[in-house]
Structure 1
């Protein structure tokens, strides 16, 4: 099938506009809530270079995944591409890495949103945890209703989110002071790389919507449109907010626990912290909504292909709701949140685990794109450009790649044990059939051998 082939309806429900909203929710997500301040703490105004670099690197990465999704629309997403390119083992590894990255990522996102609420209304850790639990319940319920409801819900959230961010930037920029850009690199130029490592979390998500490719009305047309629109929207908003945080808040940006709230307060007054809390909830809900939807579809597809228990496979067909897989994702997310609550470690370990997993998924996904996409096509060119992005992300992830390596080992072990169980079951079935079969009658005039 060529890239110029006439797009055919898939029977899905998502439009290009809804797909754009899903992308914006998945990628913009919770990164804009806290990471501009964290990056500024690492590198000062030079952190803007890290933001710009990741925006540039994400463009070919997003385009490569869009080309794969348009050509092979399947709930398995990157796991399906790995299957086609490298076989069952690679598919299972990628699928497990993505599937098991979502619960800690969702828990961290919920905690970020909860922290904004507690900053506005008080209550400390209790408010944060209660809000996080509420967010998980809402997102689980929305996805249980199916993608038609989810797509419309996401479209509404993305519209409100973009409006609030633009409003915050527009109202605060009149108080900007360019003197806050100096010194530009107070911690040296080498600090830009650690800042960029933090920001990888902000750009995880370009692969998430590939799991929903089969749910688009016309994947070959709508998925690339949604991707290109989302790259422009997400990249522009990240750069705008990061720039505003630095030039408006100055040195206080690196000490802020709620930089978006502080930014809104500059333009609207102290009560804007309530508005910031609302925006944080919208951001968090949008990101979690997109990832729950993608992971639930992926889990069902993996179960269908034998990489997860078979009882999770219901809902792997486009148009169905994978409620069993969704229940597993939601349950693991609650366990991750419980672990953080009991240990008091905070969201940082969850963020690092999630980042390492997504970088591993990107690496295998881009390798699959190079093998599957025809030479001379735009998708293939995007995949070649994405190789640079993946190499940079691997350097940034560093030791946090140990987690996806552990998950990969578990996936391969499951495949091996599952294959042995199937073979043993097959042998048992064959033996039972032989035992149940009646003895063959001897033909007249014959004798048994050896007698």
Structure 2
């Protein structure tokens, strides 16, 4: 899909988003769920630790902005279309997440004995029968594929941009269709190797997701700090607010955010040592 360009990927993403919305709408209609039927737990029944865990999971419904930005050049009018697409995407992700939560709470398909990933499949089987589970599984797979597709293409574009100071480098080459296929192939190879390592070592996938949360939040925090340095006026106030929210999210992750902090510190040490080496060996740079 990455070899077919951004327009083909955009069309596929739109189709997948439509399928997700159709599935949620079908559940709401078949279950005859009305707004008055949707009840949420009382505030005094919510513990802070579980709230933090839920927020960390909910954060995944909105990640992707850092990938989206690298594809902004694909818009015909980035200054006009990019903010619109971003806001629509955030609102759509929030609505889908809220609807799924409301459905799970309405049917009561949650407990310590039920895996979180099994809630929606159980509801689908209850409403439509076991045959409909295949449709839901295909839509779920396409959802994962859509996310991977966006991140792979975005990362490939980022690598190609960073290699512009070495135009003859393998990763700086574009295909006849002006696509960074070499960078994309390297990324896909790394993804395959990483998946095999996770499978071979039997690494807990849920733990990796939590650690990745810290990385995403740290990226957003660095973006907000850059905004504090570069922006003025109202935009500066928004950047400061974003910094505070990111710090709050890191605090909610607790010790699980240490992975992101350690990785950032390690990169900082590597970057400083590399700069020091380049200053002492100017010809090598």
TM-score (norm 1): 0.55
Structure 2 unaligned segments of length 5 or more: list them: none
Post-superposition CA distance 1:242-286 (Å, at most 9, x none): 111111134458614422212222321222211210121121111
Alignment correspondent of 2:283: 426
Structure 1 unaligned segments of length 5 or more: list them: 1-141, 429-451
1:239 match: secondary structure:
helix
Q: Distance in 2 between matches of 1:350 and 1:189?
A: 22
Q: Distance in 2 between matches of 1:210 and 1:417?
A: 28
Matched, 1:215 2:77: no
By how many angstroms is 1:384 displaced? Answer: 3.6
CA contact (8 A) 1:374 1:380 kept: yes
Post-superposition CA distance 1:19-65 (Å, at most 9, x none): xxxxxxxxxxxxxxxxxxxxxxxxxxxxxxxxxxxxxxxxxxxxxxx
Correspondence 1:333-352 to 2 at 5 A: 333-352=191-210
2:94 match: secondary structure:
helix
Higher relative contact order structure (alpha carbons within 8 Å, sequence separation ≥ 6): 1
1:422–1:179 CA distance, 2 compared to 1 (3 A): closer
CA contact (8 A) 1:171 1:267 kept: yes
Matched, 1:291 2:151: yes
Q: Distance in 2 between matches of 1:249 and 1:172?
A: 13
Matched, 1:325 2:155: no
Alignment correspondent of 2:140: 280
Count residues with an aligned counterpart.
Answer: 281
Alignment correspondent of 1:69: none
Alignment correspondent of 2:65: 206
Alignment correspondent of 1:86: none
1:328 match: secondary structure:
helix
Post-superposition CA distance 1:395-418 (Å, at most 9, x none): 123333333344432465267447
Mean Cα deviation higher: 404-413 or 415-424: 415-424
Q: Distance in 2 between matches of 1:247 and 1:324?
A: 48
CA contact (8 A) 2:16 2:139 kept: no
1:145–1:264 CA distance, 2 compared to 1 (3 A): same
Q: Distance in 2 between matches of 1:276 and 1:427?
A: 55
CA contact (8 A) 1:369 1:383 kept: yes
Matched, 1:156 2:12: no
Pick one of 352, 365, 369 that aligns with 2:223. 365
1:286–1:191 CA distance, 2 compared to 1 (3 A): same
Correspondence 1:136-215 to 2 at 5 A: 142-174=1-33, 181=40, 186=45, 188-215=47-74
1:254–1:204 CA distance, 2 compared to 1 (3 A): farther
1:419–1:154 CA distance, 2 compared to 1 (3 A): farther
TM-score (norm 2): 0.83
Q: Distance in 2 between matches of 1:414 and 1:323?
A: 28
CA contact (8 A) 2:61 2:93 kept: no
2:283 match: secondary structure:
helix
Q: Distance in 1 between matches of 2:59 and 2:134?
A: 28
By how many angstroms is 1:218 displaced? Answer: 0.6
By how many angstroms is 1:225 displaced? Answer: 0.7
Correspondence 1:72-83 to 2 at 5 A: none
